[in-house]
Structures are given as C-alpha cells and as structure tokens.
Amino acid sequence: MTRSDSEPADVRPRRRSTAVRPSDDTLLDGVLSVFAAHGFDNVTMDQLAAAAETSKPTLYAHFGTKEQLFDACVRREAARLLEWMRESYRRARGFDLDRHVATTTRALFDFAATHAEGFHVLFGAPTAGRSHEVRAAAIGSVADTVAELIRHEYGGADLAWGASADFCAAAITDIGVRGVQQALAQDLDFTAAADLTVSIIVAAMRHLDPAAVRAVDADAGPAAEPGAPPTGELTPLQHAPPRNDVLDTAIRMFLRGERIELHAVATELGISRTTIYRRFGTREDLLGVVIARQFEHVFTTVDSRCTSRGAHRISEVFDQVLRRLAADPALRTYLQNESPAALRLVTQADGPVHRGSVALVERLIQRAKEQDGYRPPIDRTTLAFALVRLGESFLYSNAVTEADGDIDHLLQVQTTLLGVAGPVGGPA
C-alpha cells in the first residue's frame, strides 16, 4: 500500500537525495540515537530508516540485517572509545599510578558526556548478536593497559604481580564504567561523580592486602615477567606473536572441526584475548578471515591445475572449487553447527569471505579476457558477484540439509551466465 502524496509532509519519512550515496558513517549517525533510546529489540528497520533519512533497502545494502546494523553501531562506538582512551594514556604518560588512574577514569566520564548516545549503545542498550563480544573486548583492552600500569608502578621484590594485576585492572575498569552509568542514570554532576570514582579506586589500590595479592598469583601460577613501562597504547604488543601465528592456530582448529574461540587461540599462543581482538576483531571476524583464507587456498590450488582456457576455464575452476568445498568436512561442520550465523558470515557483502571470493572470481574472468579473448556477457564485477552468490547458496543448502545439492542444475545456470555452450566440469 503506497502513501498518498496528499498526506501531510511531516508524517512522511524524509529521504536524502538519491543523487548522493550516503556514507556508512552518515547512516550510523542517523540510527545511533534510535538504538541508544530504545535498544535493539524495540525498534524496526522502518524506524531506523526514517531516523537516517533513507530507505530500508539502502540500510540493507550497506549493513545487512538489523542485527548487523546494530553491530556496526557498536563497533564504531567501541573504536571511538578506544581512540579516546588512547589519547588519555598519551596525556598521562610519565604520571604515577594514582594520576594515571585519575586521568583514565575522567576520560571515561568525558567520553560519556561528549558521546552520550555512543556510550549508551556500548553500555546501556540491550545486546544483540555478537555485539556483547565487541563491548567486552573494548573494555578488556582498557583493562589490559591498566594491568600493565599496575605491574610497572607496583612491581618489585616484595610484590611481583601476575594474574592479580589483571584481576585488579578488571575491577578498576568496571568501577569506572559503572560510575559513569550511575552518573547518567541519576543525572549527577559529572565532575563530582568522576572525582568520587577516582577516590574510590585510588583508596582501594593504596590499601590492598599484599597477602591477598600473593595468594591470587600463587593459585594462578607463575607471575608474568615485568615488562617495559606502558607506552600510552592500549595493550602493548611488544611480545605478541606475529599475526600469521594467530591465523595459523585458528586455521588448525577450524580444520579439526573445533569451535574457534578467542580465549582458546589466546591460551594456545600464550597471549591475551584482547591482543587477538586488536588484530582481527571479534571471534566472527577471525572466523571470516580463516574461511576466506581456506577458500583462497582451494581456489588457487584448483586454478593452478586447470588446463582449460577462456570461459571454459572459469566454469571448470568454479565447478571443481564448489565440489571440493561441498565435500570439506570442516566447512560442513561449521555451517551445520553455527547456522544461521554461519550463513551471515559467509554471505555478508562487506565480509572477508564474500568480498574475497568475488575478487578471486573477478581476477579469473579478467585473466580470461586478457589471455584468451573471452568477452563476458555482462561486466566482470557483476558476473563474479552472481557466480559467487550461486555458489554460496549451493554450499549452504548442501551442508545444512545434509544432502548433496543438485550441482548439475547449478552448472547449467553458471554456464548460461558465462556464455558457455554447454556444462563443463564434473567430479574431480
């Protein structure tokens, strides 16, 4: 049912000019206040589109589902918070622990005062999907830096901080966040509330029982080796393993059919979970990179062994890649165990799996054009996108229904798109 042009203009959602494509940040600015005021469950995509002065199809095109849109809001505000905190650490560089705690705590209050809606989305609005992990990792990054400060300022012959530093840092960070929450909820004076929060934290640290600290560390195992003084960056990475070590460990877990968890990867490598978050993002982000890397490996292997040319090469490579992926037990286990989250990860338009797959197919098409004179019936980007979407639907259906999909019918559509005279390919 369409809205009549005779309806008052003030009841119709405003729309931006279609001549200018809105940026992600512009759209997020529009929906942020709605999520902050009502949370995730109590808003609709219609309300969000109206607040962003756009259409639902535009929001879907940019972000996907409502859950993905909310997740994008949380991610952006978490990134803003971390940058805000980094700046506070730079300002406090060289201070003793008391002044550093004061600077850091007041920075939290200042962030909430300046970005009230962002703070509420991070720490007030109900969670959705993986957003809880994003929030937890952001706070974990702050706590890791506080732990390094504790080890540096209070470490010594009489007290070697181990797990107790992480314990105290988590408590300090939690007090800071909850102090801001209370100040917002009770409409308190932010300066006074910040001062009170700082005094609570400083008093607690000055009156710690050394025996209790040692007891925690004794139960947790050997204390960490003292590190260099904090540099003003969140969770220093001086002793972190290379990025490929994290990825290789996650890939091994995936190929064994294990559920990839950040804490499991971190434990195996002897690093913090926040270190992995800073490099890859959330668990789902790491999974996306893992699956994209595996797709690329299969694609490159098949392509290197193919002797066909032109459109036939594209068709044969695509066919063999799909057959191998469909038979892969690790991928099938993941798609079965984590549906529908797995479907979202594999098909998300701006995700590493879909984006990487389209890039691989697009390069294959371009090579066929340059080396074999192939003339695709449509532009190569659109053709690559269509082929990948076909493959995604087949793989997901094949795994989740636990039945072999009709790949021959899929090949008929594929060869029609490519302009090949007849189906090419077959079992490897």
Write the pLDDT tens digit of every residue in 263-294: 788 888 877 776 777 677 778 888 889 999 99
ω into 340 cis (within 30 of 0): yes
* Residues with pLDDT less than 70, the chain: 1-21, 94, 125-131, 153-159, 219-243, 274, 278, 398-408, 421-428
Asked whether the beta carbons of 417 and 374 are under 8 A apart, the reply is: no
pLDDT recorded at residue 166: 83
- Percent of the chain topping pLDDT 90: 13
What span, in angstroms and rounded, lies between the C-alpha atoms of 340 and 65? Answer: 12
Predicted TM-score of the model (pTM): 0.52
pLDDT recorded at residue 219: 66
pLDDT recorded at residue 2: 38
What span, in angstroms and rounded, lies between the C-alpha atoms of 340 and 328? Answer: 19
Burial class from Cβ neighbours inside 10 Å (0-12, 13-18, 19+) for residue 314 reads buried
Residue 14 CA to its chain's centroid (Å): 31
What span, in angstroms and rounded, lies between the C-alpha atoms of 364 and 377? Answer: 15
pLDDT recorded at residue 31: 92
pLDDT recorded at residue 32: 92
Give me 77's structure tokens.
């505000």
pLDDT recorded at residue 48: 93
What span, in angstroms and rounded, lies between the C-alpha atoms of 123 and 142? Answer: 14
Sequence-distant (≥ 6) Cβ neighbours of residue 114 within 8 angstroms: none
pLDDT recorded at residue 127: 59
pLDDT recorded at residue 9: 39
